[in-house]
Amino acid sequence: MYQNLILKSGRDRSVYNRHPWVFSGAVKELPNAQNGDIVAVRDNHHQLLGYGFFSPQSQIVCRLFSLTNQEIDFSQPHFWHHKIREAFRLRQKHVLNAQTDAYRLLHAEGDFLPGIIADVYSDLAVVQILIKGTENVSRHLISGLQEMGIRYIYLKNKHNPGFREEVTLENGFLSKDQTETIKVILENGLKFRVDAEKGQKTGFFLDQRDNRALLKTYSAGKSVLNTFSYTGGFSVYALAGGASVVHSVDISKEAIRVGDENVALNFGPDAPHQSFAEDCFDFLRRSQDAYDVIVLDPPAFAKNAKSVPNASRGYKDLNLTAFKKIKPGGILFTFSCSQNIDRDLFRKIVFGAAADARRDVRILHQLTQPADHPVNIFHPEGEYLKGLVLYVE
C-alpha cells in the first residue's frame, strides 16, 4: 500500500530503539514517493519497522509517527483521532483545572505526531503545521480537534522561501463565524491577553507556566527584574507573589504595551510595575539598580548547530552581567530555549559566567518544560527548554 524506505543495516539502531527520525545517511533505498507521502520504513531484510512522513529535501528524510510491524491503513480518521484523544487525556489529568484554560494539546514528537503544534486558548486552538506530511493528513487532525469540542481553529503556519517543507495551507480561521484572534486566558488564576495572529509563536509562551508559578513563591517583598519580558508573564506572577517592585524589559514596544495591559488586567493601574522598551543587554549594563530577583528568558540564540559557539558567548555575557547586578542573597532564574544548547552545555555556560563574576552560586532548582510539552523519551531533542534557579551569595 505504501512505498518502502529501506535502511542500510539489518537493524538500524536509532529506529529500532524507537527514535522517530530517519537521517538520509541511514537510507539504503529511497522510496518512489513525493514530499509528504506516508512511507513504510523497513530494514534491509524488508522487515517492517514503522511508518513516517517522507521528506526527501531534508537531512531528516523521514519522521516516524507509528513504530509497528503491523500493516495499517492511515487513510481513515480513527488512527489520527486516537492520537489526539490520548494527548488530551494526558492534559486533562495533569494540566487542566478551573484556574487554567490555556495549554498545549499537541506537541509534535512529544505526542507521537511530528510536524504539528496545537495550543488551546479557551475555546480557540492555534495550530502550526510544520511539514508537508502533516499537511496531507490535516483534515483528519482538524476533525480530531473538533471532536475534542474545540470551537474555533486558527491556522498559523510558516511561509517563507527558505522553508523546504512546502506547506501551502493558508493562515486564518477555518470557520467563517470567527474573526477575533485576541483571547483573554486564565493561567493559574491569572489573566493574560493573547493575540493568536500577531503574537510570537502561537501567541503566548505556555511552556513557562510552571516556572512562572515558581517565581511567584520567591517574589514576596522583592525587587524583580524581568528581562525579555515579552507580554509580561513572569512580571504578572511576581506581582501576584507580592513583589515590592517589578521592572519589565523587552525590545518590542508592542510586547511592552501588551505586558502593561496584562499587569493592569490583574492588578489595576497602580501596580508597582514599570516597563522599558529597550535592548535587554543594554538595560542590564547601564542600570544602576540592583535587584533581589532577576529573570533571564531570552529567545533562542542558537537557531542551528553552526550558531552554537556565538550563542554560547551570548548566554555567558547575559548571565555574567546579571551576576554583577543581582544583590547578595539574590535569586536568578535563567533559561535557554535553544534546542541546540543542551542541558549540560547550558549549565557549563552559566558556571563560566559565575566564575568570571567571582560570585558564590548554588543551584536551587533545575527547570524544564511542563507536562503539556512532553518529551518522547526516545527523542531527547524534544527537551528544548532548560533553566536554573540560582542562589547568588
Per-run averaged pLDDT (10 residues), the chain, 393 residues? 89 81 94 97 93 95 96 96 97 96 98 97 95 96 94 83 72 82 96 95 96 98 98 98 98 97 97 98 94 96 88 96 97 96 96 97 98 96 96 97
Q: What is the DSSP string of 253-264?
A: HHHHHHHHHHHH
For residue 290, what pLDDT is reported? 93
For residue 161, what pLDDT is reported? 47
**Backbone phi, psi, residue 65, to 5°:** -115, -10
Using alpha carbons, select from 87, 81, 19 the residue that is nearest to residue 49.
19
Give all strands of the β-sheet with 21-23 in edge-to-edge order: 21-23, 60-66, 48-54, 38-42, 4-7, 27-29
Using alpha carbons, select from 343, 352, 348 the residue that is nearest to residue 387.
343
C-alpha cell at 386: 532548560
The percent of the chain in helix, strand and coil, each rounded to the nearest 5, is 30, 30, 40
Q: Which helix (H) or strand (E) holds 319?
A: helix 308-325
Domains, the chain, ordered by start:
4-66 (2.30.130.10), 78-183 (3.30.750.80), 205-392 (3.40.50.150)
Please tell me the pTM assigned to this model.
0.94
Report strand pairing: 172-173 vs 152-155: antiparallel
